Amino acid sequence: MINLSIRQMADMLTTKQISVQELNGVYHDRARQFNDRTNALISVYEELCAREVMQAQDLLGKAAHPLAGIPLIHKDLFCTRGQTTTCGSNMLEHFIPPYDATVVSRLSAAGMITHGKANMDEFAMGSSNEHSAYGPVANPWDLSRVPGGSSGGSAAAVAARMTPVATGTDTGGSIRQPAALCGITGIKPSYGRVSRYGMVAFASSLDQGGVLAPAADDCGLVLSAMSGHDPLDSTSARRPGWAWQKPESADLTGVKVGVIQDWVDGLQDEAIKQLTLQAIETLKAQGASLIDIHLPHADLAVSAYYVLAPAECSSNLSRFDGVRFGHQTAQAQNLEDLYRRSRSEGFGEEVKRRIMIGTWALSSGYYDAYYLKAQKIRRLISDDFRQAFDQCHVLACPVSPELAFKHGEKADGVSMYQADQFTIPASLAGLPCLSMPIGHAAGLPVGLQLIGRYYDEQSILAVADQYQQLTRHHLQVPEAFL
Ligand code: GLN
């Protein structure tokens, strides 16, 4: 059961080989049973889930959406009406949104069953899920290691098959890096593909909702259902809708894959390098032609991102003042003191660090030197990608420079920031990108990143699906969770 694709589950539901109740019962039990070990979930739903199961079972007889009855977990920064939405922060411990995020309402309308909310780095800031007010998440492949972040709870929950699919968000790598470290597939769509309405904002020009699941096909199905223009989000693109088409064969003839060779050559971890080269060779054996691509400004991406993202976060997080939103201190002397104490008590260390860096980078005298310069670098990186895509259809490169690290191993912020070196460039350019599993080193999963042209999710998902038609890495489940 736990290795069925979403397509297979949907088939079994419509042909009545299994009921919605049975399917969801299996995942509900696994979510409960494995949460002690992984801490992947901040909340597990009982009544809401039971109600949705009844509704989906009713729907199935009629013209139901193909996703009706399929279990789902949302990252805890998507607003869920009447259910806490913590964003991994003490600031929002008691926040109960009065409305659903568009992603949530679209997937519910399709008949998917929400089982709960996933743990995450506070306000999506981090690459290890250690910055959560609700405790760190354990990587199902080795509980002493991190699952990556910030969508670490979503990735761990899928890896342990506590759910067949989860939503996540990616600002600079938060879907792709945890997907890589947990041995599953994760896609961040093009900026504007998925509505940000009801998604708690971190860095608004970069944030995108996406999907984590074992296979590219699963991701494609769910992404199609949650994407499309939304009048409630002015940054959602006014473009025609899209429905994922699964390729019929694994033949990649005619597909030009650009390999970012400097990134592969620069990998310090020999095992990751070998697996990456091997996966690229497999694509070639499937018929793809390989082209060597160089992105001259990409090595500036981490520095630019860690100015731009904090700048946007300092502005976005100013709404949490303890008055309208967020934790309110019990002991304010006056209004100024209320703001100061509420924010000091509510935010964790990393969030405070980002607010301070961002406020500083935006302050007069520093704005031109840092914020403006970072914006210019962002443009140069976008131009690099544009030139690369004159020569190829998709790009292939590493996701993470290292395997899942031990909890507590990266104590200082800057070494954690370096974990994002391969994921940030595509984020700055707003391009669709995914991570897919390509094997294990020392028992830990490794991913390969595919980056596509703007609004061409179809091509990267297709290449991943075609690779997965011939390989089984995405079907591996950690032994302790079988
Ligand atoms: N790790 C990056 C950061 O800490 C990316 C986070 C994200 O994509 N939300 O900002």
> To which H or E segment does residue 103 belong?
helix 102-109
Q: Which residues pair with 75 in a beta bridge?
A: 118
Is any atom of ligand 1 closer than 6 Å to the C-beta of 125? Answer: yes
C-alpha to C-alpha distance for 310 and 125, rounded to whole angstroms: 9
Q: Which two tokens stand for residue 176?
A: 């792709």
Which atom number of ligand 1 is nearest to the Cα of residue 206? 8
Q: Which atom of ligand 1 is nearest to the CA of 125?
A: 4
Q: How far, in Å, is the centroid of ligand 1 from the Cα of 125?
A: 5
**Is any atom of ligand 1 closer than 6 Å to the C-beta of 170?**
yes
Is domain 6-253+458-481 classified as CATH 3.40.50.300? Answer: no
Listed residue (312, 311, 293, 309) closest to 301, CA to CA: 309
Mean pLDDT of the chain: 97
Q: Which helix (H) or strand (E) holds 33?
A: helix 20-38
Instruction: Kindly report the number of other CB atoms within 10 A of residue 37's CB atom.
Output: 14
**Distance from Cα 420 to the centre of ligand 1, integer Å:** 8
**Ligand 1 touching residue 199 (CB < 6 A):** no
Q: How far is the CA of 142 from the centre of ligand 1 (A)?
A: 22
Beta strands 444-452 and 394-398: pairing type? antiparallel
Instruction: Name, in order, each residue with C-beta under 8 angstroms of 21's C-beta and a sequence gap of 6 or more.
Output: 53, 57
* Residue 273 annotated among the catalytic residues of the structure: no
How deeply is 210 buried, as exposed, middle or buried, from its count of CB atoms within 10 A (0-12, 13-18, 19+)? buried
Calpha distance 207→204 (Å, rounded): 5
Tell me, using a 6 A CB cutoff, whether residue 208 lines ligand 1. Answer: no
Contact indicator for 413, 460 with CB cutoff of 8 Å = no
**Cβ atoms < 10 Å from Cβ of 171:** 27
Does residue 210's CB lie within 6 angstroms of at least one atom of ligand 1? no
Which residues pair with residue 78 across a beta bridge? 199
450: which DSSP letter?
E
Residue 150 preceded by cis peptide, ω within 30: yes
> What is the spatial distance between Cα 248 and Cα 363, in angstroms, rounded to a whole number?
54
Give the pairing type, strands 185-188 and 433-441: antiparallel
- Of 245, 203, 256, which is closest to residue 220 (Cα–Cα)? 245
Atom of ligand 1 nearest to the CA of 420: 1
Ligand 1: which of 87, 121, 204 to mutate, judged by most atoms within 8 Å of the beta carbon?
Answer: 121
How many angstroms does the Cα of residue 469 sit away from the middle of ligand 1? 31
Distance 126 CA to ligand 1 centre (A): 5
**What tokens does 159 get?**
């890896």
Predicted pLDDT at 73? 98
From residue 242, alpha-carbon distances to 190, 234, 395, 396 in Å are: 12, 19, 21, 23
- Structure token pair of residue 244: 């994922």
Backbone angles phi, psi at 154, to 5 degrees: -60, -45
Residue nearest ligand 1's atom 10 by CA: 125
Q: Which two three-digit tokens encode residue 144?
A: 């002493």
Centroid of ligand 1 to alpha carbon of 127 (angstroms): 6
Domain ranges of the chain: 6-253+458-481
List, in order, residues 6 or more apart from 33 with CB less than 8 Å away.
none
What pLDDT is recorded for position 61?
A: 77
Distances 325 to 320, 353, 382 between C-alpha atoms, Å: 5, 20, 36
126 lines ligand 1 (CB under 6 A): yes
3-state DSSP call for residue 377? Answer: helix
- Ligand 1 center–CA 244 separation, angstroms: 27
Q: How far apart are CA 327 and CA 319, in angstroms?
A: 11
What is the rounded distance in angstroms from the CA atom of residue 53 to the CA atom of residue 347?
36
Decide: 172 in ligand 1 pocket, CB within 6 A.
yes
Q: From the first residue on, what is the mean pLDDT of each consecutive set of 10 residues in the chain (482 residues)? A: 94 95 97 98 96 93 89 98 98 97 97 98 98 98 98 98 98 98 98 98 98 98 97 95 96 98 97 98 98 98 98 97 93 96 97 97 94 98 98 98 96 88 98 98 98 98 98 98 96
Question: Is the CB of residue 174 below 6 angstroms from any atom belonging to ligand 1?
Answer: yes
CA distance 246 to 462: 7
Are the CB atoms for 436 and 447 separated by under 8 Å? Answer: yes
Tokens describing residue 342: 């509420």
Ramachandran class of 410: left when φ > 0, alpha when ψ lies in -120 to 50, beta otherwise: beta
| Run of H or E including 221 | helix 216-226
Query: Within 10 A of 344 (CB to CB), how many other CB atoms are there?
Result: 11
> Ligand 1 pocket, 150 CB below 6 A?
yes
- Specify the residue for token string 């922060």: 89
d(CA 25, CA 49): 10
- Read off φ and ψ for residue 266, nearest 5 degrees: -75, -5
Is the pTM higher than 0.95? yes
pLDDT tens, residue by residue, 176-216: 999 999 999 999 999 999 999 999 999 999 999 999 999 99
State residue 84's pLDDT score: 98
Catalytic pick among 105, 127, 151, 174 = 174
Report long-range pairs for 282-285 (Cβ below 8 Å, ≥24 apart): 282/467, 282/470, 282/471, 283/252, 283/257, 283/396, 283/463, 283/467, 284/257
CB atoms closer than 10 angstroms to residue 140: 29
Whether 196 and 235 have beta carbons less than 8 Å apart is answered as yes
Does the active-site annotation cover 150?
yes
207 three-state secondary structure: coil
Of the residues 5, 43, 75, 427, only one is catalytic, namely: 75
The catalytic residue among 108, 127, 132, 150 is: 150
Instruction: Decide: 192 in ligand 1 pocket, CB within 6 A.
Output: no
User: CB–CB of 276/398 below 8 Å?
Assistant: yes
